[in-house]
């Protein structure tokens, strides 16, 4: 809630309490004053009446008393007089009194017991009455009580009027005070704060900031920030100069170096990224809207390019608050806290999302490309939605490219196989790259798809097609050679179809390893971290293994569980000593195979635990929930062994995250030979995940591995990650795309290559 609103609400609430209390007090005071006046009047009336009526009362002459009482009632506001016997029966009563007073009133009873006059205000229906009771003695004996009845409506009316008038007057004062306070706060606090905040944001974005805001309130802050900004500008200039000098060297790639490199390559041209996943999602949290960054290797890989060169990221708007935070064209500036580029959201109906994403992409292409023995499902309806959504995204890209020349378009993953051709047909000058984040199968497997030719033709609309490893590039060219009419240059790994050339190359994706390498506090070693984690898990264990995956049938989680079971069978010393912790994030649960898989894995873990577990130990802890990176890193750092046993995977960044997070150089990575990461991380223990015996032996070997060997293996793998990090991946992709000549610039590119 903004500070201004909080301040005004607090002031209003406090003032309202004061207003209600003050007006209530004043109304009560006025009520007591009027009642006191009426008490005095009733006392005088009673005493005068007794002077006249006392002889008649003593003589029991009730008829004459009745006449006197009726005569008194004619006075202003006097409604009646009554004389009651001690036994509560009325002796004489003026006419017109309600039936409520035909018996002795309570105040008269109180007056008899106290032997003195008493008054009270009462209400019957809508009428308000004032009653004054005075005991009457005869021969020093209390025998009767006289009650005088007055109309008290005017007291209630006057009190209410006083309350309303005072409330209105005080409320007006309060509102005036709040308005003045708001003006003062905005003038003296909010506006200077906003100017100061915008000035700091300009500095943080690296822009040339205006002069610092003037004023004594934030003067010390602006002076300190100015000094910091000057130092940062000097450091930034030095870093950019170093990046320019090292642009062709083999030094380590950093975000700043990538930024400078992309600027020099693009030279002001438009960059458009297309992905199903958006980098920032807006969701409702109670009554507020919050933004979040989805856990995605794709977002991690591509956003540095967008931060460096600006441009537009086109994605499916999937957040439940995305529409509320976008303009009429589905656009907004991101990141929300420091905008660098534009996010353009494409809206899909539930039917389109079900058919295109859950249907064709994830029930068809995903199992087809992974060859994980889950049969792909192809439906004509899903294909229609896939084509329709690709057309919708193509139109969104073309709208964004209108009025630009020689733009760059980076298309991400298997959701948009048809998109390159759709864009190229309308904008032949666009330089289009596609990065395929999942494996590419052999020609026989891909040929299962009824629309294989359409998918291949769509992909060949791109100028550059990237895969994680060379093996997938080879499979793709074999597939083209088998299924599509084209001319293939096997030496250059280029495909010419209908006069257009597509180059195919491996770009092993990676991570920003320095973000995971920050050491924890000195007092928390790997051993102390392990002790804390096992205590939180409610178990005891000497050694810990860890696995981190989406719950997906390609990840080999069930095979991993069975390897742990075989380890304990084969090496009984690990019973009550080794626990494997599997963190599994639910994924695509609307698809039946994924929904069933979660239950299958839980059942398998329970079966193994029932077989071996004791009161304080169990071999498998299955954490079936989403965990943030911050929550996962402690498991990486505490584990003795990390299992990445995918049955088939494009890269699998978990393996690289584990290596990068081990600042101590300890721990052992067991890695599937079918994961793309195995081509780069040769110092891991490579296994066939289908070979339960081999994986069990690898776990045993990893736990018994000497610290020196662990250190040597981890050091070599970390050096590989530092050399081939995500920033180098992005730079290589953009560089190769920039070297491809468009129809408008063949001579310029030839000169550049020369």
Lowest mean pLDDT among 110-114, 494-498, 571-575, 733-737: 110-114
For residue 335, is the peptide bond before it cis, meaning its omega torsion is within 30 degrees of 0? Answer: yes
pLDDT band, residue 747 (cuts 50/70/90): very low
Please report the pLDDT score of residue 75 as a whole number.
63
Question: What does each C-alpha distance from 183 to 180, 197, 352, 533 come to in angstroms?
Answer: 5, 20, 51, 53
pLDDT band at 161 (very low <50, low <70, confident <90, very high): confident
Cβ(277)–Cβ(296) under 8 Å?
Answer: yes
How large is the greatest C-alpha to C-alpha distance in the chain, in angstroms?
Answer: 141
Please, which residues have CB within 8 angstroms of residue 611's CB and are 6 or more apart in sequence?
Answer: 565
Distance CA 170, CA 385 (A): 65
| Distance of alpha carbon 650 from alpha carbon 676, whole angstroms | 5
Q: With 60 as the cut, is the pLDDT of residue 754 above it?
A: no
Phi, psi of 572 (to 5 degrees): -60, -20
Contacts for 406 with CB less than 8 Å, ≥ 6 apart? 269, 429, 430, 431, 742, 744, 745
**Per-domain boundaries in the chain:** 3-158, 264-506, 514-724
pLDDT tens column, 531-590: 999 999 999 999 999 999 999 999 999 999 999 999 999 999 999 999 999 999 898 888
SS3 at position 104: coil
Q: Tell me: domain 3-158, CATH 3.30.450.20, correct?
A: yes
Taking the CA atoms of 71, 75, 80 and 84 in sequence, report the sign of the dihedral they define.
Answer: negative
**CATH homologous superfamily of 264-506:** Glycogen Phosphorylase B; (3.40.50.2000)
pLDDT digits (tens, 9 = 90+) for 169-200: 777 877 787 778 777 777 766 667 777 777 67
* Band of residue 439 on the pLDDT scale cut at 50, 70, 90: very high
Pairwise CA distance, residues 260 & 258, whole Å: 5
Q: What are phi and psi of 489, to 5 degrees?
A: -100, 100
In this prediction, what percent of the chain has a pLDDT beyond 70?
87
The alpha-helical segments, DSSP class H, found in 188-328 are 191-204, 219-245, 255-266, 297-309, 322-325
Please, what sign has the CA dihedral across residues 357, 360, 363, 364?
Answer: negative
Residue 358: predicted pLDDT:
95
Mean pLDDT, to the nearest integer, of 20-24?
80
- Paired tokens of 710: 């662990």
Query: For residues 35 and 155, is the Cβ–Cβ distance under 8 A?
Result: yes
pLDDT at 524 over 80: no
> Above 60 in pLDDT, residue 167?
yes
Q: Highest-confidence range of 22-26, 161-165, 478-482, by mean pLDDT?
A: 478-482
pLDDT digits (tens, 9 = 90+) for 126-141: 888 888 888 887 777 7
β-strand pairing of 141-151 with 78-85 = antiparallel
CATH class of 514-724: alpha beta
> pTM here?
0.68
Q: Which residues contact 99 (CB under 8 A, 6 or more apart)?
A: none
Q: How far apart are the first and last CA of the chain?
A: 60
Is residue 118 predicted with pLDDT exceeding 70? yes
Question: E strands along 377-446, which residues?
Answer: 408-412, 431-435
Nearest residue to 318 via CA among 283, 354, 356: 283
Residue 752 pLDDT: 42
pLDDT tens digits, 276-324: 999 999 999 888 999 888 766 678 678 877 877 788 999 999 999 999 9
Model confidence pLDDT, tens digit, residues 640-655: 999 999 999 999 999 9
614-626 confidence digits (pLDDT tens): 999 999 999 999 8
Cα torsion 649, 638, 663, 528 to 10°: value is 170
Confidence band, pLDDT 50/70/90 cuts, at residue 46: confident
Same fold across 264-506 and 514-724: yes
């Amino acid at each position: 809630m903004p500070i201004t609103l909080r301040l005004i609400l607090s002031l209003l609430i406090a003032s309202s309490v004061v207003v209600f209390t003050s007006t209530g007090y004043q109304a009560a005071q006025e009520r007591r004053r009027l009642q006191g006046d009426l008490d005095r009047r009733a006392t005088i009336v009673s005493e005068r009446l007794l002077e006249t009526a006392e002889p008649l009362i003593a003589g029991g002459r009730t008829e004459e008393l009745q006449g006197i009482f009726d005569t008194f009632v004619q006075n202003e506001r006097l409604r009646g007089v009554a004389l009651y016997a001690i036994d509560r029966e009325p002796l004489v009563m003026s006419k017109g009194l309600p039936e409520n007073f035909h018996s002795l009133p309570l105040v008269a009873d109180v007056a008899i017991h106290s032997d003195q006059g008493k008054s009270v205000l009462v209400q019957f229906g809508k009428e308000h009455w004032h009653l004054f009771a005075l005991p009457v003695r005869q021969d020093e004996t209390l025998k009767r009580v006289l009650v005088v009845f007055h109309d008290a409506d005017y007291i209630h009316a006057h009190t209410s009027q006083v309350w309303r008038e005072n409330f209105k007057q005080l409320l007006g004062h309060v509102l005036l005070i709040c308005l003045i306070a708001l003006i003062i706060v905005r003038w003296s606090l909010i506006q200077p704060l906003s100017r100061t905040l915008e000035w700091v944001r300009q500095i943080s974005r690296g822009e040339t900031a205006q002069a610092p805001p003037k004023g004594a309130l934030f003067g010390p802050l602006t002076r300190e920030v100015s000094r910091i900004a000057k130092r940062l500008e000097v450091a930034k200039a030095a870093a950019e100069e170093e990046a320019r000098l090292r642009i062709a060297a083999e030094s380590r790639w950093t975000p700043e170096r990538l930024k400078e490199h992309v600027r020099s390559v693009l030279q002001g041209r438009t960059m458009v990224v297309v992905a199903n996943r958006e980098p920032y999602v807006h969701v409702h949290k109670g009554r507020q809207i919050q933004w979040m960054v989805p856990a995605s290797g794709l977002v991690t890989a591509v956003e540095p390019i967008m931060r460096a060169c600006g441009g537009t990221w086109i994605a499916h708007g999937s957040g439940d608050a995305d529409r509320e935070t976008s303009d009429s064209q589905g656009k907004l500036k991101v990141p929300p806290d420091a905008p660098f580029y534009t996010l353009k959201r494409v809206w899909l109906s539930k039917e389109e999302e079900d058919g295109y994403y859950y249907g064709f992409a994830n029930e068809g292409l995903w199992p087809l490309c992974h060859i994980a023995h889950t049969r792909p499902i192809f439906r004509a309806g899903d294909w229609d939605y896939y084509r329709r959504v690709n057309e919708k995204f193509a139109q969104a890209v073309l709208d964004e490219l209108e009025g630009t020349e020689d733009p760059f378009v980076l298309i991400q993953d298997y959701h948009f196989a048809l998109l390159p051709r759709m864009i190229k047909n309308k904008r032949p000058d666009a330089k289009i790259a596609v990065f395929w984040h999942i494996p590419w199968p052999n020609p026989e497997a891909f040929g299962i798809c009824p629309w294989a030719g359409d998918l291949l033709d769509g992909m060949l609309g791109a100028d550059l097609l990237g895969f994680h490893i060379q093996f997938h590039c080879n499979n793709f060219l074999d597939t083209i050679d088998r299924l599509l009419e084209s001319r293939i240059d096997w030496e250059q790994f280029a495909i010419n179809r209908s006069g257009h050339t597509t180059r195919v190359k491996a770009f092993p994706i990676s991570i920003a390893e320095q973000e995971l390498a920050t050491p924890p506090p000195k007092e928390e070693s790997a051993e102390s971290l392990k002790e804390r984690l096992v205590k939180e898990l409610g178990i005891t264990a000497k050694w810990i293994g860890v696995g981190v995956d989406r719950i997906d049938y390609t990840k080999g989680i069930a095979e991993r569980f069975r390897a742990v079971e075989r380890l304990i069978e084969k090496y009984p010393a690990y019973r009550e000593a080794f626990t494997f912790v599997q963190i599994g994030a639910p994924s695509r649960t609307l698809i039946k195979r994924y929904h069933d898989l979660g239950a299958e894995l839980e059942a398998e873990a329970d079966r193994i635990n029932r077989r071996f577990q004791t009161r304080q130990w169990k071999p498998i802890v299955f954490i079936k929930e989403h965990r943030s990176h911050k929550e996962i890193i402690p498991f990486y750092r505490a584990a003795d062994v990390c299992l990445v046993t995918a049955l088939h995977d494009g890269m699998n960044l978990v393996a690289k995250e584990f290596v990068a997070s081990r600042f101590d150089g300890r721990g052992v990575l067991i890695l599937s030979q079918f994961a793309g990461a195995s081509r780069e991380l040769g110092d891991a223990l490579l296994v066939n995940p289908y070979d339960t015996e081999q994986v069990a032996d690898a776990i045993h070997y990893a736990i018994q591995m000497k610290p020196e060997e662990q250190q040597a293996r981890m050091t070599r793998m970390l050096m590989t990650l530092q050399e081939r990090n995500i920033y180098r991946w992005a730079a290589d992709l953009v560089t190769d795309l920039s070297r491809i000549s468009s129809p408008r610039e063949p001579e310029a590119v030839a000169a550049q290559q020369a």
